[in-house]
Amino acid sequence: MNSLRFTLLAFVLALALAAVPSAHADVREAQPAVFMIESAVTTTATPATAYAALARKVGQWWDPAHTWSGSARNLSIDPHAGGCFCEKLAGGGSVEHARVIWAEPGKNLRLEGAFGPLQDMAVSAVMTFKFVPEGAGTRITLTYRAAGAFTMDSAKLAPIVDRVLTVQLRRLGAFADTGKMPTK
């Protein structure tokens, strides 16, 4: 019975993943106090549409489980140099996840900021989204470099950050394809 349950679970998971654009993910570097990850996804959207989904509609596709407020609708990006990737909190509070340091519509969006628990670790990080035409669609590549005073081994932390950001990238790709909130 457990074998059958495992097989059914694996089948359901495979079907769910098939519905989401696949993303190639990789921890490119992990040393003491430094890591770099890279993920890529291909979408059927144009570079301009994919960029707009990221820069103007982050609250519609970001996984709410990876927010401080519990709601992705509280997220926004001001896609101009100096702009904020921010989140509204209850009671009038807010969080700056990152600051925009390069915005080139349809081509590149670069943010500086330590996301999630990295923010408390005195870590500096840069996240770059590149949008490159590929066939009739767009290849979106996300690169995240972090360095600083990690409170845990960065080689162990890098794969965790990679998994979280790869899920976000898949959700961005799915949203760019359909204009609808991803379910996974």
pLDDT single digits (tens) 70-128: 999 999 999 999 999 999 999 999 999 999 999 999 999 999 999 988 999 989 999 99
Mean pLDDT of the chain: 87
* pLDDT for position 36: 95
- Per CATH, the homologous superfamily of domain 23-178 is START domain (3.30.530.20)
Q: Is the pLDDT of residue 1 over 70?
A: no
Task: Spell out the domain ranges in the chain.
Answer: 23-178
* pLDDT for position 32: 83
CA 52 to CA 179: how far, in whole Å? 11
> Could you count the other beta carbons within 10 Å of the beta carbon of residue 28?
13
CA 159 to CA 25: how far, in whole Å? 10
Q: Where are the alpha helices (DSSP H) in 34-153?
A: 47-61
- Computed on alpha carbons and rounded to an integer, the radius of gyration of the chain in Å comes to 17
The residue among 28 and 7 whose pLDDT is bigger is 28
Residue 28 confidence class, pLDDT cut points 50, 70, 90:
confident
The pTM score is 0.84
CA 170 to CA 184: how far, in whole Å? 9
